[in-house]
Homo-oligomer: A and B are copies of this chain.
Amino acid sequence: MEPVSANPSAPPPAHHVHALRRFNRYFTRRIGALDDHYLGQDRPLGEARLLFEIGGEGASLRELRSRLGLDAGYLSRMVRALETQGLVRVTVHPHDNRLRVAELTAAGRTEVTEQNRLADELAEGLLAGLGGRQRDELTAALGAAQRLLRLAAITVVRVDGASRDARDCLAAYAADIDARFPEGFDPAALVRPHEVSGDAGAFLVAYEEGRPVACGALRRLEPGVGEIRHVWVHPDARRLGLARRVLRGLEEHAGALGCTVVRLDTHAVLTEAQAMYRACGYTEIPRYDDNVYAAHWFEKRLPSAAKP
């Protein structure tokens, strides 16, 4: 896996760094601390967090371990403690006897609900000091900040078209558009791994905290002409501007593979995608393939790789 345009720009100017640190200091002191102390009520923080993380659906110990970053032994003991307190029930995983699954009992659920109520109350108390317009502003600012922080944490890397993550992404993509296209979607229309690997093309996957959240494929149509396909973003990661990042990465790879033009097609129902392609410099062209799902065809001339 090689990172794609990892650092597109020079180191960030100091004032951004300071703004982030200032905010961090203020926020963790004012809010984070409060949250933790009040939530914990009568329970060690570790246990409170664990309960919260088990949540309504339950979770395997393995998952809890990775989500909370805990030592296996430590977690095992904590779960046992919660079990003897009657808050948690532990069973073996139905499909894999190595795994155990922790679920909340009724008492556990009550406690988590109470935790949530307290946290809500705390947040309400905080917001009570603001007027309606100011609350709107705050919510908007926090939303924007979170969006950008998430985006900053996502890395786009090139992977082999036959890799596990690539296949998973394509499967999710296929399921997604199958549900969206009125006529459904036949996975046979997906690119073959060899078309997007090695010198033939490229397959990019975006990772957020280790999980694939977006993908995009590039294959060669003819010498000098690449085709972008299967740009997909996980529902949880939409509206972050991730598709553009994947697109930019694919264009870079196209340039590196000697393409001067990239093309792509889209289905009639994917109107946001069409808008994005236009906004990214693509112009509509006549049909160039016989893709039965396509209704619009686009092309973009790549800036020739400038050498300094």
Contacts and interface: CB of A to CB of B under 8 A. Distances in A.
Contact of A149 (B11, B17, B138): B138
B8 A149 contact: no
Task: Please classify how large the interface on chain A is, using the bins under 10, 10 to 19, 20 to 34, 35 or more.
Answer: 35 or more
A105 to B, nearest CB: 24
Interface in A87-109: none
Q: How many copies does the complex hold?
A: 2
A21 interface: yes
A45 B155 CA distance: 30
Interface stretch (A22-30, A175-183, A193-201, A210-218): A22-30
Interface of A: 6-9, 11-13, 15-17, 19-24, 26-28, 30-32, 35, 119-120, 123-124, 126-132, 134-146, 148-155, 241
27 contacts: A11-B124, A11-B128, A12-B128, A16-B127, A16-B138, A17-B123, A17-B124, A17-B127, A19-B143, A20-B139, A21-B120, A23-B143, A23-B145, A23-B146, A24-B31, A26-B150, A28-B32, A31-B149, A129-B151, A129-B152, A130-B151, A130-B152, A134-B151, A134-B152, A134-B241, A141-B148, A145-B145
